[in-house]
Amino acid sequence: AQSVTQPDIHITVSEGASLELRCNYSYGATPYLFWYVQSPGQGLQLLLKYFSGDTLVQGIKGFEAEFKRSQSSFNLRKPSVHWSDAAEYFCAQGDMRFGAGTRLTVKP
Amino acid sequence: GAVVSQHPSWVICKSGTSVKIECRSLDFQATTMFWYRQFPKQSLMLMATSNEGSKATYEQGVEKDKFLINHASLTLSTLTVTSAHPEDSSFYICSAGTGPGPYNEQFFGPGTRLTVL
């Protein structure tokens, strides 16, 4: 079955530092991949998605992700983290199945 | 972006009672809605997919008679937890989109926290 894996349960970074959240997929064909962010009291918000084409995808809030078929990965990145980025991040695939999530804590 | 609401945002009920959760798309017509369950500090587990006017498609292991889903209109889907028990306590989230599959972006509601005493 198709699945996505997020190896990191919790990540802490300092404000202003760069961020990379990992996501690995298992699917033979080109998958449809998404990154969502969940903040307390708010619904999940789509950060970006990949269907095909350019493997570097730009999203909202300064996030980007790179699809790497050779590594079966779709890692989320941000060059400089803001305190407001503290949240839960989920990688998901096209059939709306989600990874376990990575909780991001931002240190002042 | 499109707005999806859920009502109630939280509910506490006694064991054995039924609870209905509403999911509404406020500014668009949602032909497809998804229902998820999320345990504390865990991921979203897809429970079922509902298409307007047809029966919901349940994921393996989800009891159809326990979790009744109705998608009677293009703006409303309901999830009814029947004869709720403490193990049904969870965070229930819906999402709505203009169609199934990855090409149609899904918009998520804020979730409903159910506590069964």
pLDDT at B82 over 90: yes
Q: Which is higher by pLDDT, B39 or B114? A: B114
> Which of A32, A43, A51 is closest, CB to CB, to B111?
A43
- Chain B residues with beta carbon closer than 8 angstroms to that of A94: 101-102
How would you list the strands of the sheet with A87-93, edge to edge? A10-14, A102-107, A87-93, A33-38, A45-50
Is A74:A26 a contact under the CB 8 Å cutoff? no
- Residue A56 touches chain B, beta carbons under 8 Å: no
> Which of A41, A90, A94 is closest, CB to CB, to B44?
A90
Q: What is the pLDDT of residue A37?
A: 96
CA-based nearest residue to A90, from A39, A50, A29, A51: A39
Question: pLDDT tens digit string along B9-68?
Answer: 999 999 999 999 999 999 888 888 999 999 887 889 999 998 888 889 999 999 999 999
Chain A closest-CA separation from residue B27 CA (Å): 16
Q: What is the pLDDT of residue B34?
A: 92
Q: What is the pLDDT of residue B7?
A: 97
A vs B, Cβ pairs < 8 A, gives 47
Rounded CA-CA distance A96/B117 in Å is 31
Q: What is the pLDDT of residue A28?
A: 62
Chain A closest-CA separation from residue B74 CA (Å): 20
Dihedral of the CA atoms A75, A39, A98, B52 (nearest 10)? -130
**Could you list the pLDDT tens digit for every one of the 108 residues in chain A?**
668 999 999 999 999 999 999 999 987 666 789 999 998 877 899 999 998 888 999 999 999 999 999 999 999 999 999 999 999 999 998 877 899 999 999 999
